[in-house]
Amino acid sequence: MKERSNKKSGFWGLAVIILLLAGLGVWMFFSFEYKFGFRPQEIKRGLDLSGGVSITYETVDKNATEQQMTDALSKLQKRAEAFSTESNVYLEGSQRINVDIPGAKDAQKVLESLGSAGKIYFVYAEGPSGKTNVSYAADGTYVLTRSMDEIIADGDAPIDGTMVSRAEGVAIKEESGAIQNIVSLEFTASGAGAFYDATSWCAQHSNMQNRLAIVFDNEVLSCPGVNSGISGGKAQVEGMESLEEAQNLATFIRIGALPVEMQPIRSNIVGATLGSRALETSLIAGIIGFALVCVFMIIIYRLPGFVASLSLIFYLGIMVALLLLFEVTLTLPGIAGIILSVGMAVDANVIIFTRIREELATGKTVRSSIQLGFSKATSAIVDGNITTLIAALVLYFLGSGVIKGFAITLGIGIVVSMFSGLVITRLILKCFYNLGADSVGMYGVAKKTKTLKVVENWKKYVVISGAMIIICIVMLFVNSSKIGNILNYGLDFVGGSSVQVRFDGAVPSQGDVESLVKSAIDENCSVSEVKGENAIIIKTKAFLEDEGKLNDLKQAFMDKYGVAEGNIETETISGSVSDEMKSDAIKAVLIATICMLLYIWIRFKNLAFASGAVIALVHDVLVVLGVYALFRVTVDTSFIACMLTLVGYSINATIVIFDRIRENLALTAGSIMKKKDALKDVVNRSISETFTRSINTSLTTLLTVVVLIILGVDSIRIFAIPLAIGLVCGTYSSICLTGTLWYGFKTKFGKKA
């Protein structure tokens, strides 16, 4: 009777799981709309994968200084990131700034949302001059009654945008529980004093309107009342009806706070910068890679491998659903975050199944082995994922641009991977067991592991790792002397030239244009089509101020496509990865590393664990950096994604081995062996017991990356090849270095460690 009940629950459990999968699939691809029925849903894609809107601003004052343009660039970057974290902002020439917004299809709508970069002022409603500047209109709005030129001349605009350092629309919860929508303002040092003087004057003159209007491009955006002088350089504008209204007001204040007045001179729709085949080939490679991972898991782990494949399908479905739900913009760095989280989802299953086999090898029943397998695997899975999640959160809050995009997909992926491994896999496996899958042969039994002599060979690892790091350092100096930089920085970092070409007929394919540019000036380039204008935009690292190169390129287009010389326009552009973004990235990575170190220290109650993990991480980063230096691989935004992926993978692989060392230490607590011998045995045995897991996890992750290398376009390979090398390096360091480093710290410093 009991057996029948179990089979019944197993059957219905699988039926529910299949229905959930089907429902998730339907929701992923279709969303219901009342008027139009079903329509396919699409994940928002970044400028590199699907294109978007490109807007060019030009200064009204043609004598803007370099510092003013740099400040304006920084502020526009922050504004663009509020629209999309994957936006690109860069200088075009000396008086223009280009803003690329990914995924957008309506240039005019984006332009209205960004706003024209005019001037913003805080204006007395009735000023010291005794004149009325703002009046209350019949429609309930405030309007200017005098021209801004008069108001500025009379001193009735005590504050301008240059005095504003921050403006943000937020919703706050009051003590009563009510939600209030406000604009939070911060002023510069000079602005704080001016704001206090202005608010004090307003508060003291209650016979007047005692209001301080916020005016943008001669339009009154808000006219809040002032009750007292506000000091400290911080203030709040209250009374917003919605959070959206507060955010819109904050947007105009930020735009108006630009150090120079700018106006949009052109806006257009552009195509994908990675080429039309990039997304298609990446998807095909992803599908093939996923299929190979499933086949590998089934061959190696039998029934649990099949269960893992179903769990991974759930993982991908939930992941896509969340990307759609939160409207995440997917770019190449975002794909890197997904690859890492997929690897961690596979790793969770590998750890669990390895543990189940180990329990079966001791003679336990299948039911007991499954329970103990999940129980013993949980700590390694949770510690590895939380450590990486800490890094993702730090990168999100402190990073910008592609760093933030990577952090979003990685963070979502980590949470989903833990859920799929510890919950979904357990439920499906339990259903199969209840249906009668209780034979040991369906799961496999762990073979007796041969204890590797890892610690004894530490000198060999020092020589190997030392040689790789020395090569890295030497190549950095060699590159500095030969190409002027320690690495082969791409367009994203050092800038170059933007060439717009207009055609009389059909626009040639991106591949043909890339080949033509390469043959004409011996430079790689990115090509995007300007929709509806029979034009393309070419961006190349070459600075085409050199008349020879520029003439060669023009001649090539004239000869092959009959393009008139006047239809080819060239501008020098800056790198889209700004100095601020670089400093944000460095700061975020350093803080993330410190936070991970602290977590490992607290969780494992031993500084030796944390120190070993961080040293191994630095080792992996230096080795991959050496690959970029040695082969002069182009360093662009994919470099950042590659390095961050490597950091996450390295930490996760290390945690698994440390978790086993911690467990084995507890088992040998009463050992009569000498301390050093006991610790050496623990390290060697722990690494040997997790060796299969380390290799299998690396192989499954590499399968997808290798398929990307084989099928992907050049821009994808630039990312995938160093990543593959980094994965191999991470496996080497986790097996050969982390345990050895821990042993060294523990035996050298003893209790101090």
Instruction: Give the domain CATH number at 86.
Output: 3.30.70.3400
The mean per-residue pLDDT over the stretch 428-439 comes to: 90
Q: What is the model's pLDDT at position 277?
A: 62
Choose the final residue of a domain: 76, 96, 116. 116
The predicted structure's pLDDT at residue 128:
83
Q: Which of 147-156, 262-271, 472-481, 582-591 has the lowest mean pLDDT?
A: 262-271
Mean pLDDT of 586-602: 85
Judged against a pLDDT cut of 80, whether residue 307 lies above it is answered with: yes
Q: Percentage of the chain surpassing pLDDT 90?
A: 20
407 and 335 together in one domain: yes
Domain co-membership, 19 together with 93:
no
235 and 293 co-located in one domain? no
Residue 478 lies in a domain: no
Q: Is 364 buried (19+), middle (13-18) or exposed (0-12) by CB count in 10 A?
A: middle
Alpha carbon separation from 679 to 167, 182, 535, 616, 673 (Å, rounded)? 56, 59, 68, 19, 9
Q: Does residue 170 sit in the same domain as residue 312?
A: no
Res. 257: pLDDT tops 80: no
Number of domains forming the structure of the chain = 5
Same domain, 654 and 725: yes
**CA distances, 13 to each of 6, 9, 166, 353, 424 (Å):** 10, 6, 53, 21, 11
* Confidence category of residue 426, pLDDT binned at 50, 70, 90: very high
Calpha distance 186→192 (Å, rounded)? 8
Residue 268 within any structural domain of the chain: no
Among the candidates 116, 148, 177, a domain finishes at 116
Same domain, 55 and 132: no
Between residues 624 and 38, the one the model is more confident about: 624
Q: With 50 as the cut, is the pLDDT of residue 24 above it? A: yes
**Is residue 4 over pLDDT 50?**
no
Predicted confidence (pLDDT) per residue in 69-95, tens digit: 877 787 777 777 766 766 778 888 788
* Whether 232 and 332 share a structural domain: no
pLDDT interval class at 26 (50, 70, 90): low
Which comes out higher in pLDDT, residue 239 or 36? 239
Identify the pLDDT of residue 274.
57
The whole-number pLDDT of residue 442 equals: 92
505: helix, coil or strand? Answer: coil
> What is the C-alpha radius of gyration for the chain, rounded to an integer number of angstroms?
30
Specify if 262 maps to a domain. no
- For residue 32, pLDDT beyond 50: no
Residue 416 belongs to domain with CATH number:
1.20.1640.10
Domain's final residue, options 545, 573, 601 = 573
Whether the pLDDT of residue 189 is over 50: the answer is yes
* 9 in a structural domain: yes
Residue 705 CA to its chain's centroid (Å): 18
The helix/strand/coil state of 445 is coil
Q: Are residues 139 and 283 in the same domain?
A: no
Q: Is 402 part of a structural domain of the chain?
A: yes
Check whether residue 124 and residue 92 sit in a common domain.
Answer: no
Which band of pLDDT confidence, cut at 50, 70 and 90, is reported for residue 209? low
Residue 749 above 80 pLDDT?
no
Interval 322-356: pLDDT, tens:
887 777 777 766 777 777 778 888 889 999 999 99
CATH code of residue 541: 3.30.70.260
DSSP notation for 251-299: HHHHHHT-SS-EEEEEEEEE--TT-HHHHHHHHHHHHHHHHHHHHHHHH
pLDDT of residue 41: 54
Domain range for 668 = 276-438+456-471+579-752
What letter does residue 27 receive in the DSSP assignment?
A: H
Phi and psi at 163, nearest 5°, equal -90, -5
Question: Is residue 479, in this structure, part of any structural domain at all?
Answer: no
Query: Cα–Cα distance between 529 and 451 in angstroms, integer?
Result: 59
Q: Quick one: 325 and 426 in the same domain?
A: yes
Across the chain, what does the average pLDDT equal?
Answer: 82
Q: For 475-501, what is the mean pLDDT?
A: 87
Residue 28 or residue 461, greater confidence? 461
Whole-number pLDDT of residue 3: 41
**Residue 611, domain member (yes or no):** yes
Name which of 157, 221, 169, 240 is nearest 195 in CA terms. 157
Q: Which pLDDT score is estimated for 735?
A: 93
pLDDT at 35: 34
Residue 111 above 70 pLDDT? no
Q: How many residues does the chain have?
A: 753
* 702-708 mean pLDDT: 85
Q: Of 332 and 743, which is predicted with more confidence? A: 743
Q: Which two tokens stand for residue 77?
A: 């970057």
Average pLDDT value for residue range 604-628: 88
Same domain, yes or no: 235 and 106: no
User: Given phi > 0 = left and psi -120 to 50 = alpha, else beta, which region is 574?
Assistant: beta
- What CATH number is given to the structural domain containing 213? 3.30.1360
Confidence of residue 2 (pLDDT cuts 50, 70, 90): very low
Q: Is residue 429 part of a domain?
A: yes
| Lowest mean pLDDT segment, chosen from 32-46, 357-371, 624-638 | 32-46
Look at residue 296 in the predicted model and tell me its pLDDT.
93
Same domain membership, residue 75 and residue 210: no
Candidate from 26-40, 550-564, 661-675 with smallest mean pLDDT:
26-40
Rounded to 5 degrees, what are φ and ψ at 139?
-85, 10
